A and B are shown apart, each in its own frame.
Chain A
Amino acid sequence: MRGFGGQDGRERRWTGLDKLESRNRPPRSLLVALVLASITLVTLDVSGGGSSPLEPARRAVGEAFGPAESAAAAAVRPFTSVPAWFRSKGDLADEVRDLEASNAELRGKVELAGFDRNRLEQYDGLTSAAEDLGSALVPARVVAMGSRQSQSFTVTIDAGSDAGVGPDMTVVNNDGLVGRVLRVTRSTATVLLIVDPDSTVGGRVGSSMEIGFVTGSGSLKEDAGLDLRLVDDASVPSRDDTVVTWGSSTGPYAPGVPIGTITEVYSSLREASQRAVVKPFVDFSALDVVGVMVPSGAASDRAIIEADGSLR
């Protein structure tokens, strides 16, 4: 203690240490208590599974945060469109060329559509003759997105149980399948995107009608795509084939919604199955307006787009 410059210096140091003791030493007991509390939450949530005891808490927090997220997204929206104003003539010319190219491609597809439609009619007639697939769309906007740190690919949309949205409903946008509703609050709903590694969608290859399972890859990059595994290992999916949802009356995904196109095909000898990479039609990094498929004629707080295109 002599080394600290005599009585005066020691005095100062002691008061300093005193403060250091009181301020700088976080109580270990509190840390242990809070860590144990966190682990308890994890255990409750994991063991609960689908009917987790934390679902009511999630719902309550969702009711509180939903309107805040909607308001924040509405406030931000005018600014996110600003970059679109600053596009040069070159960009626009490029875009026109791209659109013309895709237009020509689509025209080519339309010319082949008669054949496809006939086949589809046959198929539909076989499997779901009595089923009325007429469903309506509840329009909604994405107001919040989960971060990659949280490792889940989920978004919040601004339509909830008041708009007629319920769990396990199919969410689409004008490009194709987006995901399904996980849980709803009164004004918002949480949607699991199909790129989430936990998401599995029953898929059907357009040309061969073979069924398989489409799993998310856990990446927003477009080239990462989705993973398709066919049930029948004898059939080989072909490139540029379209994959649509297989759908069932009990499952969450409505049948016939386009998912994406096959970009690569691998055959794995070890697992004796065909694996294909599917590039989704939807650009998940720029999600905005989506539609939730609800039964036709459902009650809602907003205008619903019916199957025949009319607003109600």
Chain B
Amino acid sequence: MTYLRWLAAVAAVVVALTLQVSLFPHVAWHGIVPNLCLLVVVAAALTVEAPFALVLGFVAGVALDLAPPADHVAGRWALALTVAAFLAARVRQDQKPTALAVVGTVAASSFVATSLFALSGVLLKDPAMSVGSLLEVVLVAVVWDVLLTPFVLPPLMRLFARLSPQWATS
């Protein structure tokens, strides 16, 4: 069951990453696209046990860092998505999260992940960007992620819950 779950999670990350770089640039707002990989990680953090979600966050982040056309310093998305997974796993209550809780978690994780990525860029000067454009990127990214939540999160959460029966019943 664990292997199956890993397989499903990695497949979800691959599909999310491909759509993120190939489909969504066509509808992007000033180049800002929804972060589908983050949505996959949050869905995992809200349904299955935390270690799995944390490692999935790291794996998705490394994929974002290395898959073309990425050219930033590798490890920055890995750091951001690991922390986002940690936060999402902490926010979760011990019952099926309500729709509002899911949207709130996505918004918070998106804000934290994009900000962490931007801050690491400021620290590494990779590249140096103005605060105004950073804020614009972070806020628009949060709006994008929240907009896509109703379409992406429910099927993913159902998938993860079905593949981990020990939590599916609660």
Complexed CA–CA distance, A23 and B137 (Å): 33
Interface residues of A in 5-54 (CB under 8 A from B): 16, 19-20, 22-27, 30-31, 34-35, 37-46, 52, 54
Interface residues of A in 180-206 (CB under 8 A from B): 182-183, 185, 188, 190-192, 196-198
Q: A42-B75, A65-B18, A144-B22 are in contact. Are A23 and B50 (CB under 8 A)?
A: yes
Chain A residues with Cβ below 8 Å from B51 are: 26-27, 30
Chain A residues with Cβ below 8 Å from B68 are: 58, 61-62, 65-66, 69, 144, 154, 156, 183, 185, 188, 190
Q: State the majority secondary structure of interface residues on A.
A: helix
CB distance from A288 to the nearest CB of B (A): 10
- Count A interface residues, CB 8 Å: 66
Nearest chain A residue, comparing its CB with the CB of B138:
A149
Q: A26-B86, A34-B54, A69-B68 are in contact. Are A219 and B79 (CB under 8 A)?
A: no
Structural contact, B75 and A190, CB atoms closer than 8 A: no
- Give A220-251 as 1s and 0s: 1 = Cβ < 8 Å from B's Cβ atoms: 11000000000000000000000000000000
Complexed CA–CA distance, A119 and B4 (Å): 69
- Count B interface residues, CB 8 Å: 68
Chain A residues with Cβ below 8 Å from B79 are: 35, 38-39, 42
Which residue of A24, A31, A68, A147 is within 8 Å of B32 (Cβ)?
Answer: A147
Structural contact, A26 and B69, CB atoms closer than 8 A: no
Structural contact, A182 and B82, CB atoms closer than 8 A: no
Structural contact, B69 and A155, CB atoms closer than 8 A: yes
CB distance from A167 to the nearest CB of B (A): 12
Q: A24-B89, A145-B69 are in contact. Are A58 and B58 (CB under 8 A)?
A: no
Structural contact, A146 and B71, CB atoms closer than 8 A: yes
Q: State the majority secondary structure of interface residues on B.
A: helix
Complexed CA–CA distance, A149 and B117 (Å): 8
Chain A residues with Cβ below 8 Å from B141 are: 149
Structural contact, A156 and B69, CB atoms closer than 8 A: yes
Structural contact, B127 and A19, CB atoms closer than 8 A: no
Binding site for A on B (CB under 8 A): 14, 17-26, 28, 30-33, 35, 49-51, 53-55, 57-58, 61-79, 82-83, 85-86, 89-90, 92-94, 114, 117-118, 120-121, 124, 126-129, 133, 137, 141, 167, 170
List 13 contacting pairs A-B, 8 Å CB cutoff, sorted by A: A24-B89, A24-B90, A25-B90, A30-B51, A37-B78, A45-B74, A65-B18, A144-B21, A154-B70, A156-B69, A188-B68, A218-B127, A285-B31
Binding site for B on A (CB under 8 A): 16, 19-20, 22-27, 30-31, 34-35, 37-46, 52, 54, 57-58, 61-62, 65-66, 68-69, 72-73, 76, 80, 143-156, 182-183, 185, 188, 190-192, 196-198, 218-221, 285
